[in-house]
Amino acid sequence: MDRFTKLAGLVVLGACFATSPASAAGGKSPLADPSGIDLDNVASLQRGAANYMNYCSGCHSAEYVRFSTIGKMLELSDEQLIDNLMFNADKTFETINAAMPHADAERWFGQAPPDLSLMARSKGADHIYNFLRGYYVDPDSPTGVDNVVLAGTSMPHVLWELQGFQKANFEQHENEDGSVTMEFEGFEMLSAGSMDAEAYDEFVRDTTNFLAFIAEPVRQDRRKIGVWVLIFLLFFLVIAAQLKKEIWKDVK
């Protein structure tokens, strides 16, 4: 392989990483704050699970995750699961189904709310974090709000009681070719919700953390096993090296 082919290969490889969903979502959005989630923080995940069941599971399903998995990973007993999280399921091995029938949801919102099991993997945690913080009042929209992260979204501002309503300021920017684009400048609070900005961000962070957790519940186990595999490989390397020495010692 000559140097040019090698270089071209590296460029292509780089391009693959550059367009992975997480970075693509983070780069383009006008609101691109890091979510700051922590998958090791079990208390945050427990709060996120409660937030999810209270505010999201009415419309969204999470069909690829069972309550029993959540209970095991989040250190919740069956009683705690049943009392606090399982509003629309009887058995802990059930998956999280939306309370709202799919066909009705599609008719009401124009588009059925997507399943959220793998959302954090397809769009990235930062995207969800900013999406839930990106609502602003827009009288022209059927839901009364729009979103700077997902313009024209059909999801209503379901957390308005907590966040309140905000106004988005846009500024006109003239491009070099003479066309005009509106650029997002920032939010202004119109009416306060029950939480201040910091508490609301924390609420959204916990919820996002939970969605990142259900996107790959075995992540923590996978990491623990990975460490043991590496230790084994190192140990085996020593044995293999000794063995090679022994076998080849007479061949010179």
Applying CB under 6 A, does 119 fall inside the site for ligand HEC? Answer: yes
Q: Which is nearer to ligand HEC, 114 or 144 (CB)?
A: 114
Cβ neighbourhood burial of 107 (10 Å; 0-12, 13-18, 19+): exposed
Asked if 64 and 118 count as a contact pair (C-beta separation under 8 A), the reply is yes
Residues touching ligand HEC: how many (CB under 6 A)? 23
Task: Find the binding residues for ligand HEC in span 141-200 (CB under 6 A).
Answer: 150, 153-156, 158-159
How many Cβ atoms sit within 10 Å of the Cβ of residue 155?
19
Q: For residues 56 and 81, which CB has a smaller minimum distance to ligand HEC in the complex?
A: 56
Work out how close the CB of 242 gets to ligand HEC at its nearest, in angstroms, rounded to a whole number. 54
**How far apart are CB 234 and ligand HEC at their closest, in Å?**
41
> Which is closer to ligand HEC, CB of 109 or CB of 165?
109
Quote the tokens at residue 246. 């022994």
**Nearest to ligand HEC of 81, 148 (CB atom):** 148
Can you read off the two tokens belonging to residue 65?
Answer: 């995750």
Minimum distance of ligand HEC from residue 179's CB (angstroms) = 26
**Nearest 5°: phi and psi at 63?**
-70, -15
Q: Which of 39, 45, 59, 145 binds ligand HEC (CB under 6 A)?
A: 59
Q: Which residue has the tokens 């009705």?
A: 104
**For ligand HEC, which is the closer residue by CB, 56 or 168?**
56
Quote the CA–CA distance of 11 and 166 in Å, as a whole number: 43
CB 165 within 8 A of CB 137: yes
Nearer to ligand HEC, 66 or 205 (CB): 205
Closer to ligand HEC by Cβ: residue 32 or 158:
158
Residue 88 engages ligand HEC in binding (rule: CB under 6 A)? no
Q: Which residues contact 140 (CB under 8 A, 6 or more apart)?
A: none
Reading the block at residue 252, the tokens are 């010179």
Binder of ligand HEC out of 45, 128, 145, 214 (CB under 6 A): 128
Residue 164's region, left for phi above 0, alpha for psi from -120 to 50, else beta, is left
Q: Name the minimum Å distance from CB 90 to ligand HEC.
A: 22
CB atoms within 10 A of CB 145: 20
Q: Does 56 bind ligand HEC (CB under 6 A)?
A: yes
User: Which tokens go with 59?
Assistant: 């419309």
Residues in touch with ligand HEC (CB under 6 A): 55-56, 58-60, 109, 111, 113-114, 116, 119, 123, 128, 131-132, 150, 153-156, 158-159, 207
